[in-house]
């Protein structure tokens, strides 16, 4: 498929080939699914909504429910007010959600629909039942990425829902960033282990990895409740995981309800998990449990055991900024050398952060935001690496260049199981290290002559 990719790199300002990102509404839809009884609503055409649903379904292997304003030529010319009003009327009549989370698309953004005005008009007109909630986030696909859309919707939760009663409660808000349901569950496990009361928002665990019971539930009995969203304004601290995904929401909550916020990297690997656990420990004013210390010790033991296979290996990474930054730190902790790290999401902060992490091991690391996998492939042809880490779209590069490949991030559409096992925390780091070393060993098993194939490493 990529036989025609050459090693000659040409700067491209107006074109992205195989971009390492997708569009904002997908992120907004995913965040909305983490609220109990919430119906994500795509204010645009049917095709947009169908693509966003299918992309999430292919990654999570679960049916993704969402509604659409179903724009036609008329709405494209005259605006989507009538479409959204009719949609809200139908949604509450047919599907009866507790909340509708409206996100925009390219078309409604270009038209310039005033969503808050439309929501108010629908509410005043009786199309929103008493006690039900409609919120919105602007998510134009021609800006940012799916991570930006996720961040905008999480900020909308704060804008619309967070309230301050004036009484500060002994509760911590945790904004988890865009991670899989298993990672949300791992965040909760660590917080519960430390012994702190918390509100996780959003929370897709048991929503996009529901048990098979033989009975379909449109709104699983899981996710962050509306009452919990409102109560975020009374917490004494917010911990945000993943700067691009949650900084705006944390800052908005601090400004709106005077809840101080602390934003840190996703707890991927040793150092980032240490930082998260320490933040929880300080907030709870408790000691780290011995069992959690043992879990950390098992990770360190595995890192030590596997160091001979990871040391000095050159790595290429791509994906979402928050994921790639944390994973870059982890591979450095493993004694590996990040050679190139790219993301399709715009933002110079990503490049600065990668340079900062790599300043002692590889000050010449190639760090690029708003880049694409085509550039990554060309760069690898000129600067060979030992390992590629990224989402499903990297498999073609790995195959063409005969590289060990570790699937990581979003989307992973050609494998199953990733949604069930966390990559966050100490246990997630152990699993990631296993995947990395397995990729190296599998390549050796394929290529070594029979007399050098080892049964014991």
**DSSP line for 7-54:** S-----SS--SSBS---HHHHHHHHHHTBTTEEEEEES-HHHHHHHHH
- By the 10 Å C-beta count (0-12 exposed, 13-18 middle, 19+ buried), 265 is classed as buried
Per DSSP, the three-state class of 106 is helix
Which residue is it, tokens 């995904």? Answer: 245
Q: Where are the alpha helices (DSSP H) in 311-406?
A: 321-333, 348-358, 373-382, 395-401
Residue 355 vs residues 122, 331, 342, 360, 395: alpha-carbon distances, Å: 49, 14, 12, 9, 26
What region does 58 belong to: left with phi over 0, alpha with psi -120 to 50, or beta?
alpha
Among residues 240, 25, 278, the alpha carbon closest in space to that of 249 is found at 240
Give residues with Cβ within 8 angstroms of 85, minimum separation 6.
Answer: 118, 121, 122, 125, 127
Active site residue 102: no
Phi/psi at 418 (5° precision): -60, -30
The C-alpha atoms of residue 335 and residue 312 are separated, in whole angstroms, by 6
Q: Which of 64, 102, 106, 207 is catalytic?
A: 106
Asked if 419 contacts 437 with a C-beta cutoff of 8 angstroms, the reply is no
- Cβ(31)–Cβ(202) below 8 Å: yes
The b-or-e profile of 171-196 (16+ CB within 10 A means b, else e) is bbbbbbbbbbbbbbbbbbebbebbeb
- Residue 387 belongs to what H/E stretch? strand 387-390
What tokens were used for 318?
């791509």
Which stretch of DSSP H or E encloses residue 68?
A: strand 67-68
Q: Kindly list the distances between the CA atom of residue 274 and the CA atoms of 68, 265, 395, in Å, as whole numbers in the listed order.
A: 42, 11, 31
Residue 110 bears catalytic tag: yes
Taking each continuous run of H as one helix and of E as one strand, the counts in the chain are 17, 13
CA distance 159 to 137: 10
Whether the Cβ atoms of residue 414 and residue 392 lie closer than 8 Å to each other? yes
Which residues are annotated as catalytic? 106, 110
């Amino acid at each position: 498929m990529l036989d025609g990719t050459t090693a000659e790199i040409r700067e491209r300002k107006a074109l992205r080939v195989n971009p390492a990102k997708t569009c904002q509404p997908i992120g907004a839809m995913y965040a909305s699914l983490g609220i109990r009884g919430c119906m994500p609503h795509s204010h645009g055409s049917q095709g947009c909504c169908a693509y966003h649903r299918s992309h999430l379904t292919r990654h999570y292997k679960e049916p993704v429910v969402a509604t659409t304003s179903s724009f036609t030529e008329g709405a494209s010319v005259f605006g989507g007010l009538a479409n959204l009003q009719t949609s809200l009327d139908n949604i509450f009549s047919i599907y009866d959600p507790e909340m509708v989370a409206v996100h925009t698309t390219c078309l409604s953004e270009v038209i310039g629909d005033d969503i808050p005005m439309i929501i108010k008009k629908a509410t005043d007109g009786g199309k929103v039942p008493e006690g039900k909630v409609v919120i919105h986030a602007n998510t134009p696909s021609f800006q940012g990425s799916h991570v930006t859309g996720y961040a905008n919707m999480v900020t909308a939760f704060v804008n619309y829902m967070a309230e301050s009663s004036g009484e500060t409660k002994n509760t911590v808000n945790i904004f988890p960033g865009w991670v899989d349901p298993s990672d949300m569950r791992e965040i909760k496990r660590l917080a519960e282990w430390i012994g702190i009361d918390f509100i996780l928002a959003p929370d897709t665990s048991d929503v996009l990895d529901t048990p098979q019971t033989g009975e379909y539930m449109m709104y699983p009995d899981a996710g962050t409740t509306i009452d919990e969203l409102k109560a975020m304004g009374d917490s004494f601290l917010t911990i945000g995981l993943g700067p691009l995904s949650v900084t705006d929401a944390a800052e908005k909550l601090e400004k709106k309800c005077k809840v101080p916020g602390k934003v840190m990297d996703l707890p991927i690997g040793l150092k980032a998990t240490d930082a998260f656990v320490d933040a929880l420990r300080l907030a709870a004013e408790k000691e780290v449990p011995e069992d959690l210390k043992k879990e950390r010790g098992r990770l360190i033991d595995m890192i030590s055991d596997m160091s001979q296979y990871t040391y000095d290996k050159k790595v290429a990474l791509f994906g979402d900024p928050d994921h790639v930054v944390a994973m870059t730190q982890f591979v450095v902790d493993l004694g590996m050398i990040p050679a190139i790290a790219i993301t399709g999401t715009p933002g110079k902060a990503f490049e600065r952060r990668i340079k900062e992490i790599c300043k002692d091991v590889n000050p010449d690391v190639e760090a690029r935001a708003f880049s694409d996998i085509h550039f990554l492939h060309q760069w690898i042809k000129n600067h060979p690496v030992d390992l590629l880490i990224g989402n499903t779209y990297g498999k073609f590069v790995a195959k063409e260049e005969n590289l060990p490949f570790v699937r990581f991030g979003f989307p992973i559409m050609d494998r199953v199981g990733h949604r069930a096992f966390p990559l966050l925390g100490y246990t997630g780091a152990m699993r990631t290290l296993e995947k990395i070393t397995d990729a190296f060993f599998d390549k050796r098993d394929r290529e070594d002559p029979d007399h050098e194939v080892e049964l014991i490493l």
